[in-house]
Chains A and B, each alone.
Chain A
Amino acid sequence: MSDATGPQTREVADPSPRVVVRHRLSTRIWHWTNALTLLVMAMSGMMIFNAHPRLYWGEYGANADAAWLEIGARGERGYLRIGGAQVETTGVLGRWRDADGMTRSRAFPYWATIPSNYSLAGGRLWHLSFAWIFALSLTAYMIRSLCNGHLRRDLATDRSDWSPRHLWREVKDHARLRFTKGAAAPRYNSLQKLSYIGVIFVMLPLMIFTGLAMSPGFDAALPIAEAFGGRQSARSIHFITMCALIGFFIVHIAMVVAAGPINEIRSMITGRMRIAPEAPGEEA
């Protein structure tokens, strides 16, 4: 296994059309474990949020204090308020109909929460147990990626990855859905590297630490809420990072669809990716 199993391309058998091993086993196992875990964490987290759908900055925050974000209902109408800006969200947030057609006044709708019927205790049961799978699998994957060279070979950036001109060109190429073809296709481009590093080494750890910062028991062992500006700030950052992860997920899925969903999904299941032959004269 020492030679080649990442985006580093290794040719397998018949060269036409070329098939390369793109993703290591550890990457594939973690990817799908993490995908399922994050889905459960997000949906059970929304159930927990429904118990108190207001966010604050600082150490404390309750109904009498000023909330910077609030999802609620006034009369028949649901709303989302961020700072001074308010939008009506009837049907989706704040006030909506459940699967049986009953009108409910809760922040996130039944189809976005685990369990689907309001239960703070149920949401916590799912959230806090899957938190172990989430944190332990992420840690194992980080260590594995450090040891097997995935980090160094595939994710580490050099100066060119950060050059604004280069990044801007990649942004334009992505927006036009023009993707790298041929030999360079299996390698991560700069935007991919930066977003994967941002997710794996910044956002996901931030979810773990802001989560722990909300725990009164953990606070007595290691008071880290202060580092985030207080417990309610940690809760706000936890929520904002969750939204950012959903944003990443949407772009991620859009890119998979645009780049060829069957080939891309297969490469994350079997590890193997088919490389389109390069058209003569086309820039790779």
Chain B
Amino acid sequence: MSILSRRDTLVRAGQAGLVAGAAGLLAGCDALDRSPRFRKILSLGEDMHRHSQRLLQDRDALATEYSSDDLSPVFRSNGTRLPDSADYAAQAANKFVDWRIAVTGLVARPLSLSLADIRSGPQRTQITRHDCVEGWSAIGQWTGMPLHRVLAAAGIRDTARYIVFRCADRFGDTPYYESIDLVDALHPQTLLAWRLNGAALPIANGAPVRLRVERQLGYKHAKYVNAIEAVASLGGIGRGMGGYWEDASNYEWYAGI
């Protein structure tokens, strides 16, 4: 066998090996991706991100705030753009004057807040960058009541560890829900926002009230909020992962990265 043809054979074997290797790699990764045990190992990475970010961040460290020159010309909306229910349509037609946000769970004084309640008292206005898990970003100006004021008024109990938000929009039959822990719930930039860029919050962006959790990705910022519940554990919420996308598609509960 000449050197040339031997090399040819080697190259061909190499190519075949490469193709087989690539196919094997893909199949292997997909098999691992389906294995609950392997996913559990991978999710350790999420825990490490949460712990290291919390270690690096000051508890009240602020997300970057911008000036009005930095605003996105168009603030993109995503997820539900118009909740599909007769009740929501009636509320919207009525300018949400009858909208109520129930504050319940592990609190000393359950509340039922109207839009007027949310708009009264000290408000916070901030220009921040909204980062979607998909990769896009939009900068907008938000005004709303800091969530810590609501929680102080309701008097959250010592046993409460998470705040759950329930929403008027549905994915199939499931109303959207999300949750954050007390570190984010008591953060100064965490708002029940009712204004975007100086105007009433548009329906596409979560009217009449949406959550802002500036140190996390967009899917944590629950829109159309109509109930707030303080809980000790996320076990009884949905399938127990703490949010709609977390339960439906395995998105991370901690969305700081």
Contact = CB atoms under 8 A, between A and B. Distances in A.
Interface string A237-276: 0000000000000000000000001000000000000000
Contacts of A182: none
A114 B29 contact: yes
B42 A218 contact: no
A111 B22 contact: yes
A204 interface: no
A59 to B, nearest CB: 6
B57 A221 contact: yes
Nearest to A53: B135
Interface residues of A, number: 49
Nearest to B26: A116
B216 interface: yes
B53 A218 contact: yes
B174 interface: no
A2 interface: no
Given A60-B139, A125-B42, A214-B131, A119 B252 contact: no
Interface string B232-257: 00000000000001000111100111
B170 to A, nearest CB: 20
B26 A125 contact: no
A126 B214 CA distance: 24
Contacts of B134: 51-52, 120
Interface in A33-61: 39-40, 43, 48-49, 51-52, 54, 59-61
Contacts of B29: 40, 43, 114-116, 126
Contact of A131 (B33, B43, B45, B70): B45
Interface stretch (B71-79, B81-89, B102-110, B117-125): B71-79
Nearest to A49: B135
B49 to A, nearest CB: 6
Interface string A95-130: 000000000000000110011110111101110111
A217 interface: yes
A135 B56 CA distance: 17
Contacts of B43: 125, 129
B138 interface: yes
A59 B137 contact: yes
Contacts of B26: 110-111, 116
B181 interface: no
B45 A62 contact: no
A62 B74 contact: yes
A53 to B, nearest CB: 9
Interface in B46-79: 46, 48-49, 53, 56-58, 61-64, 66, 70, 72-74, 76
Nearest to B66: A59
A125 B39 contact: yes
Interface in A123-157: 124-126, 128-132
A59 B129 contact: yes
Contacts of B53: 215, 217-218, 221
B64 A223 contact: yes
A216 interface: yes
Interface in A201-232: 214-223, 225-226, 231-232
B217 interface: yes
Q: Which of A128, A235, A261 has the most CB of B within 10 A?
A: A128
A64 interface: yes
Contacts of A226: 64
6 contacts: A51-B134, A54-B136, A60-B137, A63-B76, A119-B33, A216-B257
Given A120-B251, A122-B250, A129-B46, 18 more contacts: A40-B29, A59-B137, A59-B139, A64-B73, A64-B76, A114-B33, A116-B30, A125-B39, A128-B45, A128-B257, A129-B41, A132-B48, A216-B216, A218-B56, A219-B215, A220-B57, A221-B56, A231-B131
Interface of B: 14, 22, 25-26, 29-30, 33, 39, 41-46, 48-49, 53, 56-58, 61-64, 66, 70, 72-74, 76, 129, 131-139, 214-217, 245, 249-252, 255-257
